[in-house]
Amino acid sequence: GQSLEQPSEVTAVEGAIVQINCTYQTSGFYGLSWYQQHDGGAPTFLSYNALDGLEETGRFSSFLSRSDSYGYLLLQELQMKDSASYFCAAPPDQTGANNLFFGTGTRLTVIP
Partner 1 sequence: KAGVTQTPRYLIKTRGQQVTLSCSPISGHRSVSWYQQTPGQGLQFLFEYFSETQRNKGNFPGRFSGRQFSNSRSEMNVSTLELGDSALYLCASSSGQGIYGYTFGSGTRLTVV
- Interacting residues with partner 1 (CB under 8 A): 30-31, 33, 35, 41-45, 48, 87, 89, 91-92, 97-105
Instruction: State in angstroms the smallest separation of the CB of 104 from partner 1.
Output: 5
Pairing of strands 3-5, 60-65: unpaired
Instruction: State in angstroms the smallest separation of the CB of 13 from partner 1.
Output: 27
Contact by Cβ (8 Å): 33, 88: yes
Q: By C-beta, is 20 or 78 nearer to partner 1?
A: 20
Q: By C-beta, is 15 or 28 nearer to partner 1?
A: 28
CA distance between the termini of the chain: 40
Q: By C-beta, is 42 or 112 nearer to partner 1?
A: 42
